[in-house]
């Protein structure tokens, strides 16, 4: 039996006392109120699962109008509330009207203890079912915004990729937290999905959140959820990503971008395995397998004081390093052929292979954007190609980023070009964070803003 909380609302203190003695062994907690005006207060602070509500509070009143009035207020505050009417003046019409108005059951005074406990048991089960359904709806609504795993594939036969495939098989059945490291576009999200898909949690949700895209002021509501009325615009309650992922896997992408204050809140939730929604008071237990990813040097950030060491220990029980595409040799061609097949089908093109010259171009290019850049390059080439062979011209790869160009760039002595290159590298290393980039360059944030405008 689900043991929830019970609120008894009756103007007779003896009724409250008797019910309290009877129900207390079968409930989590019992509260009583002699005035119906206190119902709103108890619903906010006590959050009852079942409410026993007297129908008449005015002396000599027998109509039950007061009970229906307060029932309407209760259901307006909580549409899933379970309310059981109590009255010494029972009749069939009144009982039927009570059920139609939204009451769960109807008992008469004096009551039979055994029958009342059976009524309580049914009411608790109904409340539990309603809460489960509401939670499932909220979780599904949240999961609906998570990344899709359509077309997942870990393409590659290089030693580094074979090692990663082996690690996925070895670590997947463990519930240990995993940190995936690698440059932007290397496929960290693909590895996270695959880890989930071969784990014991594969039948439960995989929920992803890109922390680099979440403003600091929205971090708590996005990760922990919020209750109705918690802030302007919160017209209904919503489960956060951690709650939605309970039982499954939570993927925290770009965790290196998380501000220190948010890092502390995340650490607390991970350690206690519970969260409290914004605007709420009830702690919710969570059971998630945590997979994090970043392109930042976490160890260096810890040394520089930009990332909490205790959080680092929590998220990287196991580390998986994904190499950049330029270090994967012939994997470039395997990936290109995979994308060619995918996009030829998508755009209804009869492109059968990649020409030898195009393969040479693909192998010489440095791929600063990694697999993501390769995917976009092949898609663009497929759209532009009008023959059955992919030619190098349609790849449109800038020679400035091909192999050997870096040495040419480093020969320049032009101060303006050197400054521009330094700013570009700092912004890339800071992943767009102006304050952090300014620290790398040794200048103020405002000075960097001026240089960026220039």
Q: Residue 192 and residue 206: Cα distance in Å, rounded?
A: 9
- In the chain, pLDDT over 70 holds for what percent of residues? 90
pLDDT band at 90 (very low <50, low <70, confident <90, very high): low
Residues 121-166: tens digit of each pLDDT: 999 988 888 887 776 666 666 555 444 444 567 899 998 899 999 9
Q: Residue 445 and residue 454: Cα distance in Å, rounded?
A: 14
Residue 431, pLDDT above cutoff 80: no
Which residues does 196 contact at the CB level (< 8 Å), separation at least 6?
202, 206, 248, 249, 251, 289, 291
Ranking 13-22, 83-92, 198-207 by mean pLDDT, the lowest is: 83-92
Residue 405, pLDDT above cutoff 70: no
Looking at residue 408, its pLDDT comes to 41
Give the number of other Cβ atoms within 10 Å of residue 161's Cβ. 19
- Identify the top-confidence range among 141-150, 352-361, 415-424: 352-361
Looking at residue 342, its pLDDT comes to 92
Residue 106, pLDDT above cutoff 90: no
Residues 53-78: tens digit of each pLDDT: 998 887 656 666 888 889 999 998 88
Give yes or no for a contact between 288 and 240, defined as CB atoms under 8 angstroms apart. Answer: no
Residue 427, pLDDT above cutoff 50: yes
Cα angle 410-411-415, degrees, rounded to a multiple of 5: 80
Give the number of other Cβ atoms within 10 Å of residue 210's Cβ. 15
Helices 415-429 and 434-441: angle between axes, nearest 10 degrees:
130
Give the number of other Cβ atoms within 10 Å of residue 445's Cβ. 12
Looking at residue 235, its pLDDT comes to 80
- In the chain, pLDDT over 90 holds for what percent of residues? 52
Residue 87, pLDDT above cutoff 50: yes
Q: Residue 429 and residue 421: Cα distance in Å, rounded?
A: 12
Q: What mean pLDDT do residues 233-252 have?
A: 88
pLDDT band at 101 (very low <50, low <70, confident <90, very high): confident
Q: Which CATH superfamily is domain 5-138 in?
A: Response regulator (3.40.50.2300)
Give yes or no for a contact between 103 and 84, defined as CB atoms under 8 angstroms apart. Answer: yes
pLDDT band at 432 (very low <50, low <70, confident <90, very high): confident
Q: Residue 73 and residue 56: Cα distance in Å, rounded?
A: 15
SS (H, E, C) 352-409: CEECHHHHHHHHHECCCCHHHHHHHHHHHHHHHCCCCEECHHHHCCCHHHECCHHHHH
Q: What mean pLDDT do residues 93-119 have?
A: 86
Q: What mean pLDDT do residues 267-292 have?
A: 92
Q: Which of 240, 337, 250, 326 is nearest to 290 (CA)?
A: 250
Q: Which CATH superfamily is domain 159-321 in?
A: P-loop containing nucleotide triphosphate hydrolases (3.40.50.300)
Give the number of other Cβ atoms within 10 Å of residue 153's Cβ. 11
pLDDT band at 419 (very low <50, low <70, confident <90, very high): confident
Give yes or no for a contact between 198 and 191, defined as CB atoms under 8 angstroms apart. Answer: no
Q: Residue 438 and residue 421: Cα distance in Å, rounded?
A: 14
Q: Do domains 159-321 and 331-401 have the same CATH topology?
A: no
Burial readout 380-407 (b: 16 or more C-beta within 10 A, e: otherwise)? ebbeebeeeebbbebbebeeeeeeeeee
Q: Residue 245 and residue 239: Cα distance in Å, rounded?
A: 10
Question: 412-453 — its CATH code?
Answer: 1.10.10
Q: Residue 269 and residue 276: Cα distance in Å, rounded?
A: 9
Classify residue 10 by burial, with Cβ atoms within 10 Å: 0-12, 13-18, 19+: buried
Q: Would you list the DSSP string of 141-179? A: HHHTTSPP-TT------SHHHHHHHHHHHHHTTS---EE
Handedness of CA 348, 352, 356, 360 (dihedral sign): positive
Give yes or no for a contact between 267 and 223, defined as CB atoms under 8 angstroms apart. Answer: no
Looking at residue 146, its pLDDT comes to 47
Looking at residue 416, its pLDDT comes to 73
pLDDT band at 406 (very low <50, low <70, confident <90, very high): very low
Phi/psi for 301 (5° steps) reads: -65, -35
Q: Where are the domains of the chain?
A: 5-138, 159-321, 331-401, 412-453
Q: Would you list the DSSP string of 298-324? A: HHHHHHTTSS-HHHHHHH-SEEEEPPP
Residues 305-351: tens digit of each pLDDT: 999 999 999 999 999 999 999 999 999 999 999 999 999 999 999 99
Q: Residue 437 and residue 228: Cα distance in Å, rounded?
A: 39
State the alpha helices, DSSP H only, in 78-218. 92-101, 113-143, 159-171, 188-197
Query: Is the preceding omega at residue 58 within 30 degrees of 0, hence cis?
Result: no
Q: What mean pLDDT do residues 24-45 have?
A: 92
Looking at residue 148, its pLDDT comes to 45
Instruction: Quote the pTM value.
Output: 0.64
Looking at residue 181, its pLDDT comes to 95
Quote the DSSP letter at residue 436.
H
Q: Look over the chain and give the mean of its residue pLDDT values, rounded to a whole number.
A: 86
Q: Residue 239 and residue 235: Cα distance in Å, rounded?
A: 13
Of all helices (H) and strands (E), which one includes residue 423?
helix 415-429
Ranking 8-12, 293-297, 299-303, 399-403 by mean pLDDT, the lowest is: 399-403
Q: Residue 271 and residue 250: Cα distance in Å, rounded?
A: 15
Looking at residue 152, its pLDDT comes to 61
Residue 199, pLDDT above cutoff 60: yes
Residues 387-398: tens digit of each pLDDT: 999 999 888 886
Give the number of other Cβ atoms within 10 Å of residue 176's Cβ. 12
Phi/psi for 395 (5° steps) reads: -75, -30
CATH architecture entry for 331-401: Orthogonal Bundle (1.10)
First vs last Cα of the chain: how many Å apart?
69
């Amino acid at each position: 039996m689900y043991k929830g909380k019970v609120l008894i609302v009756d103007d007779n203190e003896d009724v409250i006392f008797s019910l309290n003695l009877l129900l207390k062994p079968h409930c989590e907690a019992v509260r009583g109120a002699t005035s119906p005006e206190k119902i709103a207060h108890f619903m906010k602070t006590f959050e009852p699962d079942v409410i026993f509500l007297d129908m008449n509070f005015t002396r000599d009143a027998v109509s039950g109008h007061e009970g229906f009035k307060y029932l309407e207020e209760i259901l307006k505050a909580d549409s899933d509330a379970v309310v059981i009417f109590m009255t010494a003046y029972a009749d069939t019409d009144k009982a039927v009207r009570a059920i139609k108005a939204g009451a769960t059951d109807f008992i008469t005074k004096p009551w039979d203890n055994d029958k009342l406990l059976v009524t309580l048991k049914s009411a608790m089960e109904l409340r539990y079912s309603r809460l489960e359904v509401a939670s499932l709806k909220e979780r599904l609504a949240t999961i609906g915004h998570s990344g899709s795993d359509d077309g997942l594939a870990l393409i590659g036969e290089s030693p580094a990729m074979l090692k990663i495939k082996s690690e996925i098989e070895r670590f997947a059945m463990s519930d240990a937290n995993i940190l995936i490291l690698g440059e932007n576009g290397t496929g960290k999200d693909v590895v996270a999905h695959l880890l989930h898909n071969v784990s014991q949690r594969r039948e439960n949700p995989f929920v992803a959140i890109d922390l680099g895209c979440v403003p600091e002021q929205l971090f708590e509501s996005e990760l922990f959820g919020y209750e109705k009325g918690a802030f302007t615009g919160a017209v209904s309650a919503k489960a956060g990503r951690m709650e939605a992922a309970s039982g499954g896997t939570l993927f925290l992408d770009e965790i290196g971008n998380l501000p220190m204050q948010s890092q502390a809140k995340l650490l607390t939730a991970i350690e206690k395995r519970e969260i409290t929604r914004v605007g709420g008071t009830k702690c919710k237990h969570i059971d998630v397998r945590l997979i994090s990813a970043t392109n930042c040097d976490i160890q260096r950030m810890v040394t520089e004081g930009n990332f909490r060491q205790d959080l680092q220990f929590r998220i990287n029980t196991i580390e998986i390093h994904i190499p950049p595409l330029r270090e994967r040799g012939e994997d470039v061609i395997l990936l290109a052929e995979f994308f060619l097949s995918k996009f030829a089908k998508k755009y209804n093109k009869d492109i059968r292979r990649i020409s030898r010259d195009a393969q040479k171009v693909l192998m010489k290019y440095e791929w600063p954007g990694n697999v993501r850049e390769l995917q976009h390059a092949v898609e663009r080439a497929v759209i532009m190609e009008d023959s059955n062979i992919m030619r190098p011209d349609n790849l449109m790869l800038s020679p400035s980023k091909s192999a050997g160009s870096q040495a040419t760039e480093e020969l320049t002595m032009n101060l303006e070009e050197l400054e521009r290159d330094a700013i570009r590298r700092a912004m890339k290393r800071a992943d767009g964070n102006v304050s952090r980039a300014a620290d790398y360059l040794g200048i103020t944030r405002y000075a960097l803003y001026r240089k960026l405008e220039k």
